[in-house]
Amino acid sequence: MRAKRSVPTLLSRFTGLIVFICPAWFITYKSLLWDPTTKHEGTECDLSHGKWIRDPTGRPLYTNGTCEFIQPAQNCEKNGRPDNEYLKWRWKPDSCELPHFDPSLYLSLVRGKKLLFLGDSLARNHHQSLLCSLSQVETPRKLYARGRKDIKLEFPSHGFVLAILWSPLLVQHRRTSQAFEIHLDTPEAVWASEVSSYDIVVISAGQWFFRPSIYYVKNTTVGRNEQLPHSSLPDVKFTYGLKMAFASALEYVLHSAGFSGLVILRTEAMSHYEHGQWNSGGTCNKTKPTANQSSEVTWTPSEMRRLQLEASREVLTRKSRAKFRIIDITRSMFLRPDGHPGRYRGQEDLVVHDCLHWCLPGPIDMWNQMLLHVLQEEVSQKL
């Protein structure tokens, strides 16, 4: 996985110089390499760029018969999807190998730790993928649950707590009959009050910023996004709302919450609707990854990812006790239009396709390979 000369070895010779030039960036040595799309001589492999390679002998860690935690709408095999080609591909980074996910190794790395997923239904999708993989080693016990949105479980023999809190916009908001009223500078109370009790926090969100919204900063109306027509309020792009919400959430965790663990930002995972959207006849009927794997990521997911990274950069200009890493899955998932439930979502209305969430098991399980890679690198730094 690593180049011949490790990052710590190289940086140990230059640490003093780096701190002298830019002391505010010296949170951890990896925060200096915060953008995973930038290749640095002598650093660890860039997992965000690569290609999907067919692996006909590969088997998923779990099935719908061995995991009870799969949400029905993402249980593609049970819902009648006739092909399983989408399970026979593995992600190959350009300059290294990404090992298969090892649930036993993962649990040993997080022994005695608490991990929180924070975000929307794609965060829940990821949470369930990890939960299914880990449950092949040990059956977790439920500590708390409010439907599928707020869940806390424990793997007793490892003392590991895995939780998820529903926060689709990351910041405080209220839903009215016409729009979401979003306070972009105020972290949502549902997670802000307890985030400091966790050791690892995985943050992701995105799709809810496309809903009709009115934005507030310091309790003052800033404007409305383009999804809310016929309003006298100033027009403010959804990109402004998304970037500021991420910046507010990251600022709070890294600087205001007393958090001293590891913060992981997962970048945007795009949908693959064709011929319309979810409510206008959009479909996703592909059964293989995108043939041209060098094709460029389309504007919307690319722009959302860019804004997430910009928000991270701005927040990281001030020193923090916490560590920060990025799991950049935008390009890899752009190439997998075959991995969604589509019409196999277990609903009677087969006209509506789900081209946003991911089948379980499926391509999304690769996110846990990247998560394990990050934890392996951080454990030597006494996470």
- Residue 192 maps to a domain: yes
pLDDT at 6 over 50: no
pLDDT at 351 over 50: yes
Looking at residue 6, the DSSP 8-state letter turns out to be -
Predicted pLDDT at 231 = 86
Greater confidence (105 vs 3) lies with 105
Predicted pLDDT at 260 = 93
- Residue 333 maps to a domain: yes
Q: State the pLDDT confidence band at 32, using cuts at 50, 70 and 90.
A: very low
Looking at residue 34, the DSSP 8-state letter turns out to be -
Contacts 24+ apart (CB under 8 A), 14-18: none
- Residue 6 maps to a domain: no
What is the pLDDT of the chain when averaged over all its residues?
A: 87
Average pLDDT over residues 178-186: 97
Predicted pLDDT at 30 = 37
Q: State the pLDDT confidence band at 348, using cuts at 50, 70 and 90.
A: low
- Work out the widest C-alpha separation in the chain, in whole angstroms: 63
Greater confidence (6 vs 284) lies with 284
Predicted pLDDT at 382 = 62
Contact between residue 183 and residue 171 where contact means Cβ atoms under 8 Å apart: yes
Return d(Cα 61, Cα 41) in angstroms, integer. 34
Q: Which of 236, 190, 189 is nearest to 213 (CA)?
A: 236
Categorise residue 218: left if φ over 0, alpha if ψ from -120 to 50, beta otherwise. left
Return d(Cα 130, Cα 142) in angstroms, integer. 15
Contacts 24+ apart (CB under 8 A), 18-24: 23/319, 24/317, 24/318, 24/319
Predicted pLDDT at 278 = 73
pLDDT at 17 over 90: no
Return d(Cα 155, Cα 165) in angstroms, integer. 18
Predicted pLDDT at 383 = 54
Q: How many residues does the chain have?
A: 383
Cβ neighbours for 171, distance < 8 A, ≥ 6 positions apart: 182, 183, 184, 185, 186, 187, 188, 245, 248, 249
Q: What's the count of helices (H) and strands (E) in the chain, helices before strands?
A: 9, 13
Q: Which of 114, 204, 210 is nearest to 158 (CA)?
A: 114
Contact between residue 44 and residue 21 where contact means Cβ atoms under 8 Å apart: no
Got the DSSP string for 225-273? -TTS-S-SSPB--HHHHHHHHHHHHHHIIIIIS---SEEEEE-------
Percent above pLDDT 90 for the chain:
77
Phi, psi of 306 (to 5 degrees): -60, -40
Count: domains in the chain:
1
pLDDT at 106 over 60: yes
Predicted pLDDT at 221 = 97
Phi, psi of 155 (to 5 degrees): -100, 95
Average pLDDT over residues 343-350: 78
CA triple 87-130-247, angle to 5 deg: 110
Which residue numbers are catalytic? Answer: 121, 354, 357
CA distances from 132 to 120, 121, 205 (A): 19, 16, 22
- Residue 8 maps to a domain: no
- Residue 3 maps to a domain: no
- Residue 133 maps to a domain: yes
Bridge partners (DSSP) of residue 67 are none
pLDDT at 337 over 50: yes
Strand 180-187 to strand 171-175: parallel, antiparallel, or no bridges (unpaired)?
Answer: antiparallel
Q: State the pLDDT confidence band at 159, using cuts at 50, 70 and 90.
A: very high
Contact between residue 323 and residue 263 where contact means Cβ atoms under 8 Å apart: yes
Q: Name which of 121-135, 176-190, 283-297 the model is least confident about.
A: 283-297
- Residue 48 maps to a domain: no
Strand 150-155 to strand 160-166: parallel, antiparallel, or no bridges (unpaired)?
Answer: antiparallel
- Residue 21 maps to a domain: no
Cβ neighbours for 290, distance < 8 A, ≥ 6 positions apart: 334, 335, 336, 337
Contacts 24+ apart (CB under 8 A), 372-376: 372/99, 372/101, 372/102, 372/105, 372/106, 372/109, 373/1, 373/47, 373/98, 373/99, 374/262, 374/264, 374/325, 374/327, 375/106, 375/109, 375/110, 375/200, 376/105, 376/109
Predicted pLDDT at 28 = 36
What residues make up the domain containing 340?
55-379
Q: State the pLDDT confidence band at 294, using cuts at 50, 70 and 90.
A: confident
Strand 150-155 to strand 171-175: parallel, antiparallel, or no bridges (unpaired)?
Answer: unpaired
Q: Which amino acid is at 66?
A: T
pTM above the 0.75 mark? yes
Helix/strand/coil for 178: coil
Average pLDDT over residues 357-370: 98
